[in-house]
Amino acid sequence: MRNPLPLWSTISRRKSFVLAAALTVGLSGGLAHAEEEGEATEAAGDETIKVGVLHSLSGTMAISETTLKDTMLMLIEQQNEKGGLLGKQLEPVVVDPASDWPLFAEKARELLDQEKVAAVFGCWTSVSRKSVLPVFEELNGLLFYPVQYEGEESSRNVFYTGAAPNQQAIPAVDYLKDELGVERWVLAGTDYVYPRTTNKILEAYLKQNGVADEDIMINYTPFGHSDWQSIVADIKQFGSEGKKTAVVSTINGDANVPFYKELGNQGISAEDIPVVAFSVGEEELSGIDTKPLVGHLAAWNYFMSVPTDENDAFIETWHTFIEDEDRVTNDPMEAHKIGFDLWVKAVEKAGSTDPDAVIDAIVGLETKNLTGGTAKMLPNHHITKPVLIGEIQEDGQFAVVWQTDEEVPGDAWSDYLEGSKDLKGDWTDPVNCGNYNTKTEECLGAEAAE
């Protein structure tokens, strides 16, 4: 729908990107190295390396995903300013799957089959990832998936740069339980795979921690749900029965706006019933009046308000690129930056964009994250991340109130679910399996993926 190519054509931007490139420290080491090896790659003949961007630019998920498309264009432009990759320029190929899950699979096939992209950065909802997964496995493509998700998956062709449940949901529940003394739980989510699996894990975890059945309320709503009055009234009632109550929200997309509005209208403040959200970040908040939301929580691995030099530089680059000082940064943007850095490093290490070479090269590579730590690609294709809990402030930013003291390694298979606690993903030799059973010591293979 939109042509991404003219983006690096203006002179003023070019200038700013020299600055931006200088500020980014993570990649500078590999640059000269890359240029030397550029001649030697076997993919001669192509003048550019194509990078696919698979994010919804319309429909219910556009609110979240459009920014990620812009982030990818920025990262690619930045890399090109530094001389490209393997001596070639990177060329973004942007498609719009329009929040339509089957269309994601079609567009993924188009990117891999016709455009012959070297890697794809994309997807937000788990249902879209599940829909493209068979395509990437069949055509041996590479997908970098930047959003927190429900786990229970480890594919050879996918790199999960967002949080697994043990890097977001479980620590958030620990925070509520231990710091705020929460005893009753509302697990509210949109009706699809991520909230359902996450809530299943959380329910098992809470019950193992001695929470009774009647102290857990689970509720699902359709995508784009707008009539929240009775659900919010139920939550209010559930929370007025004496025990400290909190809502763990896996509500996704634009349904959050009327949900928080209704909370505000029915007079539920964060001191009474805090809502901790896993899908609401700076981007989602920039669209609504945050006054009634002040004090509600979100758990992420990055907040725009984190005061590190890397983050300041990233925000400055972003503002220069998007030509708008008011635009915010958020967690999936950081995940895309980490994923892109790791992919670049892996391609440089392998000296090729060949998927098999990249898959072999990328495990164990490290890059700096924006919160002052290190992100490392693990054998299960997840990365290490710090966990941060933030309270919503009136300006739509988060004040960090809690964080883990070191990075948490992403766990593909939850330790709290029967049938998944013995599994592990390991894509290095000799295991080379996404669902290896450590007890029976055998790989379950593709047919057991569900």
Partner 1 sequence: MLVCGMAWGQSAPELTLEQSAIGAVSDEQSAPMQPSVLTDAAAESGASASAEAALQPEAAGARDTEATMSGTTDRTAAAAASANDSAGAVSGAEVPATAQEQQPPASSQAAGAEAPTPDEAVGTDSAGDAAAVASGPEPPSLAAALAKLTDRSFKVKEQAAADIAASGDPRAAEFLKALLEGDLYYRRDDNRIVYAERTSGGWALTDALTGDDLGSVGSRDARKITINNRMRSALRTDIAALTLASPDPAQRLSAAKEMMGDVDDTGVAALRAQLAQEEDPQVRDAIELALAVAGLQAESPAERMAAVQALGTSLYPEARNALDDLIGTEQDPAVLAAAEAARADMAQRVKNMRRLETVFFGLSLGSVLVLAAIGLAITFGVMGVINMAHGELIMIGAYTTYLVQLAMPNAIDWSLFVAIPAAFLVAGLFGVAIERGVIRFLYGRPLETLLATFGLSLILQQLVRTTISAQNVIVENPSWMSGSLQLNPALSLTFNRLYIFVFALLVFVALLLVLKRTALGLQVRAVSQNRAMARAMGVRSARVDALTFGLGAGIAGVAGVALSQLTNVGPNMGQAYIIDSFMVVVFGGVGNLWGTLVGGLTLGVANKFMEPWTGAVLAKILVLVFIILFIQWRPRGLFPQRGRAAEG
Give me the least distance between CB of 223 and partner 1, in Å please: 10
Q: Which is nearer to partner 1, 89 or 266 (CB)?
A: 266
Q: Which is nearer to partner 1, 117 or 246 (CB)?
A: 246
Q: Which is nearer to partner 1, 135 or 270 (CB)?
A: 270
Using only C-alpha atoms, what is the Rg of the chain? 21
Alpha-carbon distance of 119 to 355, in angstroms, equals 8
Question: What DSSP letter does each residue of 168-216 carry, written as one string?
Answer: THHHHHHHHHHHS---EEEEEEESSHHHHHHHHHHHHHHHHTT--GGGE
* Range 141-145 contact pairs with CB under 8 angstroms and sequence separation of 24 or more: 141/108, 141/111, 141/112, 141/117, 141/355, 142/118, 142/343, 142/355, 142/358, 142/359, 143/54, 143/108, 143/119, 144/119, 144/120, 144/336, 144/339, 144/340, 144/343
Alpha-carbon distance of 229 to 215, in angstroms, equals 21
Q: Which is nearer to partner 1, 89 or 308 (CB)?
A: 308
Give me the least distance between CB of 31 and partner 1, in Å please: 26
Alpha-carbon distance of 260 to 379, in angstroms, equals 39
Q: Which is nearer to partner 1, 110 or 234 (CB)?
A: 234
DSSP 95: E
Q: Which is nearer to partner 1, 62 or 118 (CB)?
A: 62
| Three-state secondary-structure class, residue 59 | coil
Give me the least distance between CB of 287 and partner 1, in Å please: 5
Spatial CA neighbour of 329 closest among 291, 290, 301? 301
Q: Which is nearer to partner 1, 105 or 270 (CB)?
A: 270
Give me the least distance between CB of 65 and partner 1, in Å please: 10
Write down the residue that tokens 């590999």 correspond to: 30
Alpha-carbon distance of 40 to 103, in angstroms, equals 37
Give me the least distance between CB of 294 and partner 1, in Å please: 8
Give me the least distance between CB of 47 and partner 1, in Å please: 32
Give me the least distance between CB of 112 and partner 1, in Å please: 25
Compute the 3-state secondary structure of the chain and give helix, strand, coil in percent, each to the nearest 5.
40, 20, 40
Give me the least distance between CB of 272 and partner 1, in Å please: 9
Q: Residue 161: which H helix or E strand, with range?
A: none
Spatial CA neighbour of 302 closest among 369, 231, 377? 369
Alpha-carbon distance of 257 to 276, in angstroms, equals 15
Q: Which is nearer to partner 1, 37 or 407 (CB)?
A: 407
